[in-house]
Structure formats: structure tokens, C-alpha cells
Amino acid sequence: MGTIKKLDDYTPQERKVLDPLYDVIDPELFVNIVDLGLIYNIEVDSEQNILITMTFTTPFCPMGESIIDGVENVLHIEFPDREVHIDLTFDPPWSPERLTNEGKKMLEMS
């Protein structure tokens, strides 16, 4: 089972990577992937390479490829000189508890 980092636990350096990911929207739910809780972890290594560990709401999500492309695109615009690694995991699988309060509001849960 992979590590899941809470939003408050990101370092300022990781936070800079997280911020552009708010622009990647799930086209079915109209909620960004951070508030949807799809981002499990962000790591920036000593060579400034970026490792994103993330998931989808369901395996083989029909919109999965476009979400991955969105993550790559926003990070390449923000950090053109850095390498981006994306590790997709379903361990643990996504669950509604992963939604942030903002995400819940967007889905009219609150």
C-alpha cells in the first residue's frame, strides 16, 4: 500500500508542484483532481525531478488518459526543465473519504 500524504503535510517545494494540478479537471465530475483526492503523493528528488503518485476514481476510467495528459501538460508548462514521473496506483483504491471539503462542496455533498 502506497503512502498518502495529506494536503497540509506538503513541503513548500511540493506545494509548488501541487498548485498547477488544481487546473486539471475531471471532465465528468467537473471537480479538480486535487479536491477529488486523486493525488496520493508528490515527491521532488535532489535533481528536482517530480514524482506524482495518483489514482482514478475507478480502474480503467474512460477519462483516465485525458487526466494523465492534463497532469503532464500543466507540469511541463510550469516546470519545463524538469522530468515528471507519474505512478498510477489503485492500492489503496480511491474512496469518497479522499474528497477535500472543497471537493465535497463542488459535488453538493455539504
Partner 1 sequence: MINYNTGKVPSSAIILPFYATGTGAFLVLCLLLVWSPQSLLMHYFNPHLLGIVHTAALGWGTMIIFGASYQLLPVISEHNLRSNDLAILSYYLLMAGVVLLVWALWSFRTGWIMVTGGSMIVLASLLYLINVVLTGRPSPQSNIQKYFIISSAVWLVFTTVVGLLLAINLGHPFFSRDHMTILKLHAHLGLAGWFLQLITGVSSKLVPMFLLSHAKKTKWLNGAFILQNAGLILFLADVYFIGYSSRVLIWLVVAGIGVLCWLVDLANHYRKRIKKKIDLQMKQTFASMLALIMGIGTIPFVHLLSASGQGSTFTMIYGTFVFMGWITGIILGQTFKTLPFIVWNDHYKKLTGKVKVPLPRDLYRAGWLRYQLGLFIVALLLLITGIATRQLLIIRIATWCWLGLALMYAFNVGQILFHKTKTTE
Interface with partner 1 (CB under 8 A): 23-25, 27-30, 56-66, 68-74, 77, 83, 85-88, 95-96, 99, 104, 107-109
Q: Which is nearer to partner 1, 15 or 28 (CB)?
A: 28
Q: Which is nearer to partner 1, 7 or 62 (CB)?
A: 62
What is the closest distance, in whole angstroms, from the C-beta atom of residue 89 to partner 1 in the complex?
Answer: 8
CB of 23 to partner 1, least distance (A): 6
Pairing of strands 39-44, 50-54: antiparallel
The nearest distance, CB 42 to partner 1, in angstroms, is 15
Which CA distances in Å does 85 have to 28, 51, 71, 75, 104?
25, 5, 10, 10, 28
Taking only Cα atoms into account, the Rg of the chain, rounded to an integer number of angstroms, comes to: 13
C-alpha cell at 97: 473519504
Shorter beta-carbon distance to partner 1: residue 41 or 73: 73
Helix axes 12-21 and 64-78, enclosed angle (nearest 10):
130
